[in-house]
């Protein structure tokens, strides 16, 4: 009976050992599966992080290029404005130069006119008054419609000079 009992205990022990081994093997398999899932999750996390880093770098590069383009546009606009300002200054200088030249020409023409008036007045004082017929002095050549300053300048009367000379 004792031997039967020991055999039964032995069988129970063997069954317990087998069951324990099955539980340990199952638990070990669960742990390995869990470790494998964790490893995959870490790999995916690493890939996701790498993807985020890559996208961040691309966004930084895009931002850098956009800033660079903006700076280039600002520089181009500034240069264009500077060129416009320079052009305007040059135009103003040319306009001032043209005005000075016109004033000098006008002054020179007035001075020449005054000289001609003085010459005519002197001639009239020396030669006396000659009556005019048709806008020319009697005995003077016809100037063929040329303006008075293109002729000899001596055929104008004192009364007509102020109308011609400014």
pLDDT in tens, the chain (166 residues): 989 899 999 999 999 999 999 999 999 999 999 999 999 999 999 999 999 999 999 999 999 999 999 999 999 999 999 999 999 999 999 999 999 999 999 999 999 999 999 998 898 888 876 666 665 555 554 444 444 444 444 444 444 444 455 5
- Which pTM value belongs to this model? 0.42
pLDDT at position 151: 43
Structure tokens at 157: 């009367």
pLDDT at position 163: 45
If you ran DSSP here, which 8-state letter would residue 135 be given? T
pLDDT at position 116: 92
pLDDT at position 134: 60
pLDDT at position 94: 96
- Dihedral angle, C-alpha 101, 104, 107, 112, nearest 10 °: -100
Do 154 and 147 touch, CB atoms closer than 8 A?
A: no
pLDDT at position 34: 96
């Amino acid at each position: 009976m004792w031997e039967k009992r020991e055999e039964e205990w032995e069988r129970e022990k063997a069954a317990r050992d087998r069951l324990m081994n099955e539980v340990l093997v199952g638990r070990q398999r669960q742990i390995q599966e869990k470790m494998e899932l964790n490893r995959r999750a870490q790999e995916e996390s690493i890939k996701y992080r790498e993807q985020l880093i890559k996208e961040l770098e691309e966004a930084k590069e895009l931002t850098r290029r956009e800033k660079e383009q903006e700076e280039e546009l600002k520089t181009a606009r500034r240069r264009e404005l500077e060129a416009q300002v320079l052009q305007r200054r040059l135009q103003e200088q040319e306009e001032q130069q043209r005005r000075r030249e016109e004033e000098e020409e006008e002054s020179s023409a007035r001075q020449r006119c005054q000289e001609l008036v003085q010459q005519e007045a002197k001639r009239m004082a020396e030669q006396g008054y000659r009556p005019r017929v048709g806008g020319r002095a009697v005995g003077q050549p016809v100037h063929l419609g040329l303006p008075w300053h293109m002729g000899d300048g001596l055929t104008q009367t004192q009364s007509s000079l102020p109308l011609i000379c400014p």
